[in-house]
Structure 1
């Protein structure tokens, strides 16, 4: 039973392998945390935040990424009280809390009287994954994008983000930062799209983060003029095939519970639900 604050400490580069072993207990759900550990070496200078761990003796048994994204890693609802204490001590920089539903619910129960209410709460989001060939034929016109596609691709990225999140990524002077993010995804080979004869993006998706085990897809978008034609199914089938060939063997994403059309399309591609997540956006 947790009775002292001494169970929790800040993690750093020396803890990288232990933290990666922790994420590997559920490598698909924990792909974001694993990716961040690999690219930052758990160094706060590169994290733009901190990663905390709970130990039993010398064994790391739970973690929490605390930055713009607050993400629990292998936590039980009982663990989050200690991490919530640490979060409340920091200058708040959290824009999103995302993780397994019961853990996020428990975390919010601790901090809700000190933090402002979320702008939006999505309490039960199916987490889906596929580790086989897609069940429908991939769209042969979906391809990895290049730097030359940026002019056509960027407006679709802004439109998708605004539709999904409810605010433009360009608000509050964020255009340069968001455009740099889109360029980064293109340069990594993590951006996929289909263009029509006019050069418009009619389908697109990106890999948000990846590890040797899994890649998490985000930003799935079909142009409003072309919705209802099945482009999301064959487009996602193409993304699955390309990602499994070039990035990681398992493809995952999470979707809003109410988005029955998207959930049906993903199911036809071959995605299956493996967890329920919650996302709180501030």
Structure 2
């Protein structure tokens, strides 16, 4: 049990096991925060995680560039929101389970609003069976990018981000962005199909924790869309992840992106929850 004199406090490295236990109540929904904890997000006195504990009820809130609630019930919302506002003047987004994110946003909005966009319904989709076992063909040309291909992956990743979020991932120097993309490439977690020196398809394994891998950054080069590449390419990604990284694969998708949802369903994903995202 997290020991704290007040209901909410910033957590440190010694609290990591209990924080991961709380994330483990719903490993699929909480994989992003669990992965950040495992990567050292609670070390160094940064207190990126706020913890609530009162009367045996415990929840968390990741508070960095993104704000992400974890197992937060209605009675935890106000004290956590007050602490988030005190700690941060701004964040780039708020995301997570819809029943936690939207009530939390209602409390943060007077200080942080208006939102640039509120995406209120994002299906969380999950699968654990390799596509090849259910008759879905995998694209043999999809593979982890090599370090030498980072210069090809960076513009593809930036194009995907811009298309998805509505603004570019960096302004001016791309150094910090290249470092983040390069880290995924070096870890073998950026999967690509490359033809004639051009990225045709890309998907990243953004978070891995608690036997779950979360896919993000799925992108088909606009010049190659409508050619039937997405399903076998995505199937290859899932096959690779289930074989080499984690026994469960998940992602979340905008409800208005009908082609993407159809692709994921064809591969074998089923909806297991609903997220919401507030873009600031």
With normalisation by structure 2, the TM-score equals: 0.93
Q: Give 1:228 shift.
A: 1.2
Structure 1: gaps (5+ residues): none
Distance change (3 Å), C-alpha of 1:54 and 1:18: same
Q: Give 1:106 shift.
A: 0.6
2:124 and 2:44 map into 1 onto residues whose CA distance is 29
8 Å Cα contact 2:62/2:68 also seen in 1:
yes
1:80-110: CA deviations, max 9, x gaps? Answer: 1111010111232411100111211111111
1:233 and 1:128 map into 2 onto residues whose CA distance is 15
Distance change (3 Å), C-alpha of 1:266 and 1:174: farther
Residue in 2 aligned with 1:208? 206
Does 2:8 match 1:8? yes
**Among 247, 250, 253, the residue aligned to 1:252:** 250
1:106-165: CA deviations, max 9, x gaps? Answer: 111112112131112111100111111114111001011101111222211111111011
1:190-227: CA deviations, max 9, x gaps? Answer: 0100012x221111100111014111111101111111
Q: Give 1:35 shift.
A: 0.7
8 Å Cα contact 2:145/2:185 also seen in 1:
yes
1:245 and 1:93 map into 2 onto residues whose CA distance is 39
- Please identify runs of 4+ aligned residues in structure 1 that moved more than 3 A: none
8 Å Cα contact 1:16/1:41 also seen in 2:
no
1:11 and 1:174 map into 2 onto residues whose CA distance is 33
Paired positions, count:
273
Secondary structure of residue in 1 paired with 2:74: coil
Q: Give 1:278 shift.
A: 0.6
**Among 108, 117, 126, the residue aligned to 1:129:** 126
Does 2:39 match 1:20? no
Secondary structure of residue in 2 paired with 1:20: helix
Residue in 2 aligned with 1:178? 177
Q: Give 1:78 shift.
A: 3.2
CA RMSD of aligned residues (A): 1.6
Secondary structure of residue in 2 paired with 1:6: coil
